[in-house]
């Protein structure tokens, strides 16, 4: 039996991969018995921030990560394809249908038992309470392989247990959620539809600002009242998901070169780029809700309503969701995890998802994918696997397990994490985009070969698999 704690993106992927390999899986999800500050439903794989899984443009690092998962039989990528909404080159989903589809698939799988209860111990199972931990991993071994995939909103009780296991009490940073607006309340006589540089279709709603409007907005933003942070003395922001008010404090032009960047957006009436521009991305297949791209914040709701209605085209905006803040929890993975995602102290215990220090939906899925496969291999007494060195999944797992830094921080997949091309190929392909295309092509060739080798090894163990409970 394999235990997966957490029914988010990493947890469902881990459970699915393990179940596909014939293992019996118990998937624990505390909602709706216990809710989190950010979730709204009891569905598995509910996404609470942006509905975008980032770019799916060939030749990019995020594309490579998605393609590896697609070729690896990922449940989450299959659901994303089935619930995709228009978003230019990005892969964005109808978050409600996406979660519903994954919940249906998981609950219908004969090898997966979904248990709705809060888990407060790393040692799951009826025997765990009576076992003494003698330091050699016997308690974890008796419970079977366990994958901790509780994500950025791990409950307080389980967080304390993780802190005891890791010996580190600095396991958090803050993250923020962007507002969502009813489509019919957006004034399309001011706003217009287009994608940046016309990539994809006209999938984004764009609200233009002139210089005076932008400077007035920044002045009001800097004076707006925020929700006070509680329970923690110090705030650790993730740099790739800063609240807009934090960005504005770094300088009056920072938002105009960040989420309000007008580059690549020409107004259809003037043919010119506005001074600044706010983009909104379609949230669902009905196209009746749009999320504000990059506008995560932790302002008071009344302040958000007042401030965001200063944006041209949003004067009468109806807010379906206001921005909000939540705590993200992650472990100091380089000290704790192997590249297989098993812990160094207890080989039967795995971590997956954002709690490992990967940032992003697809990155979380990738670690769940590998942890699920390796948990089965542990159960069968088989050697654990690591993804190819040239692959995106391999790069992520290598980073969280091996990076040398005194201040370990979460990362998204980038080419900076991937194994570079040999010098001779870099001399041939001097342009960055060309080098990236070659890296992607090389990675997918290595990935396909590796996947075939896994299937060949698996066929040889068919009888052993049938005998595994």
pLDDT above 90 coverage of the chain, percent: 61
Mean of all residue pLDDT scores within the chain: 87
In this prediction, residue 49 has a pLDDT band, given cuts at 50, 70 and 90, of confident
- Token pair of 451, please? 């996947």
Residues 6-34: tens digit of each pLDDT: 999 999 999 999 999 999 999 999 887 77
Terminal-to-terminal C-alpha distance of the chain? 7
Residues 84-126: tens digit of each pLDDT: 999 988 999 999 999 999 999 999 999 999 999 999 888 875 4
Residues 81-95: tens digit of each pLDDT: 999 999 988 999 999
Report the alpha-carbon distance of residue 454 to residue 356 in Å, rounded. Answer: 25
Between the alpha carbon of residue 356 and those of residues 375, 378, 397, the distances in Å are: 16, 19, 9
Q: What is the pLDDT of residue 409?
A: 74
Report the alpha-carbon distance of residue 39 to residue 444 in Å, rounded. Answer: 35
Report the alpha-carbon distance of residue 95 to residue 321 in Å, rounded. Answer: 14
Residues 272-300: tens digit of each pLDDT: 999 999 999 998 888 889 999 999 898 99
CB-neighbour burial class of residue 302 (10 A; exposed 0-12, middle 13-18, buried 19+): exposed
- State the average pLDDT over residues 378-406: 92
Maximum C-alpha span of the chain: 73
Report the alpha-carbon distance of residue 385 to residue 377 in Å, rounded. Answer: 8
Angle value at C-alpha 430, between 424 and 431, nearest 5 degrees: 145
Q: What is the pLDDT of residue 412?
A: 87
DSSP state, residue 228: P
Q: What is the pLDDT of residue 174?
A: 64
**Packing angle, helices 61-71 and 361-379, rounded to 10:** 40
Report the alpha-carbon distance of residue 243 to residue 85 in Å, rounded. Answer: 25
Report the alpha-carbon distance of residue 464 to residue 270 in Å, rounded. Answer: 69
Q: What is the pLDDT of residue 30?
A: 87
Shortest CA distance to 448 belongs to which of 64, 61, 28? 64
Between the alpha carbon of residue 1 and those of residues 15, 126, 379, 408, the distances in Å are: 11, 12, 8, 33
329-355 per-residue burial string, b: 16 or more CB within 10 A, e: under 16: bbbbbeebbbbbbbbeebbbbbbbbbb
**If you search the block for the tokens 């698939």, which residue do you land on?**
105
DSSP state, residue 401: H
Instruction: Find the length of the chain.
Output: 469
Q: What is the pLDDT of residue 285?
A: 83
Question: What SS3 state is found at 206?
Answer: strand
Beta-bridge partner residues of 114: 27
- State the average pLDDT over residues 367-375: 98
């Amino acid at each position: 039996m394999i235990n997966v704690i957490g029914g988010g993106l990493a947890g469902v992927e881990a459970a699915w991969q393990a179940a596909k390999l014939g293992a019996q899986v118990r998937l624990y999800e505390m909602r709706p018995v216990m809710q989190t500050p950010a979730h709204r439903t009891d569905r598995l794989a509910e996404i609470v921030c942006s509905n975008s899984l980032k770019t799916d443009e060939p030749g990019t690092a995020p594309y490579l990560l998605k393609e590896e998962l697609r070729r690896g039989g990922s449940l989450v990528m299959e659901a994303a394809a089935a619930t995709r909404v228009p978003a230019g080159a990005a892969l964005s989903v109808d978050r409600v249908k996406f979660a519903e589809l994954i919940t249906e698939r998981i609950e219908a799988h004969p090898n997966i038992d979904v248990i709705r209860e809060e888990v407060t111990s790393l040692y799951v199972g009826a025997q765990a309470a009576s076992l003494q931990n003698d330091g050699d991993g016997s308690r974890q071994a008796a419970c079977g392989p366990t994958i901790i995939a509780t994500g950025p909103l791990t409950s307080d009780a389980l967080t304390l247990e993780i802190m005891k296991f890791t010996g580190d009490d600095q396991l958090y940073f803050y993250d923020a959620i962007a507002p969502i607006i009813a489509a019919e309340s957006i004034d399309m006589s001011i706003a217009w539809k287009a994608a940046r540089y016309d990539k994809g279709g006209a999938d984004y709603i764009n609200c233009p600002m002139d210089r005076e409007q932008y400077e007035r907005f920044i002045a009001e933003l800097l004076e707006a009242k925020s929700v006070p942070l509680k329970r923690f003395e110090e705030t650790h922001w993730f740099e790739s998901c800063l609240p807009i008010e934090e960005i504005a404090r770094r300088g009056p032009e920072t938002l105009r070169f960040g989420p309000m960047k007008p580059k690549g957006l020409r107004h259809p009436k003037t043919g010119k780029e506005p001074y600044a521009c706010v983009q909104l991305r379609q949230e669902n297949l009905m196209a009746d809700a749009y999320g504000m791209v990059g506008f995560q914040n932790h302002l008071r709701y009344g302040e958000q309503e007042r401030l965001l209605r200063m944006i041209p085209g949003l004067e009468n905006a109806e807010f379906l969701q206001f921005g909000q803040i939540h705590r993200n929890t992650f472990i100091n993975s380089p000290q704790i995890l192997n590249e297989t995602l098993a812990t160094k102290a207890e080989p039967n215990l795995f971590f997956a998802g954002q709690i490992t220090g990967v940032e992003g939906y697809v990155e979380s899925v990738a670690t769940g994918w590998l942890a699920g496969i390796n948990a089965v291999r542990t159960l069968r007494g088989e050697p654990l696997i690591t993804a190819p060195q040239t692959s995106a999944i391999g790069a992520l797992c290598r980073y969280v397990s091996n990076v040398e830094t005194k201040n370990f921080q979460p990362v998204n997949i980038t080419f900076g994490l991937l194994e570079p091309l040999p010098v001779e190929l870099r001399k041939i392909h001097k342009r960055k985009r060309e080098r990236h295309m070659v890296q992607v092509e090389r990675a997918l060739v290595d990935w396909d070969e590796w996947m075939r080798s896994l299937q060949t090894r698996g066929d040889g163990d068919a009888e052993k698999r049938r005998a595994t409970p």
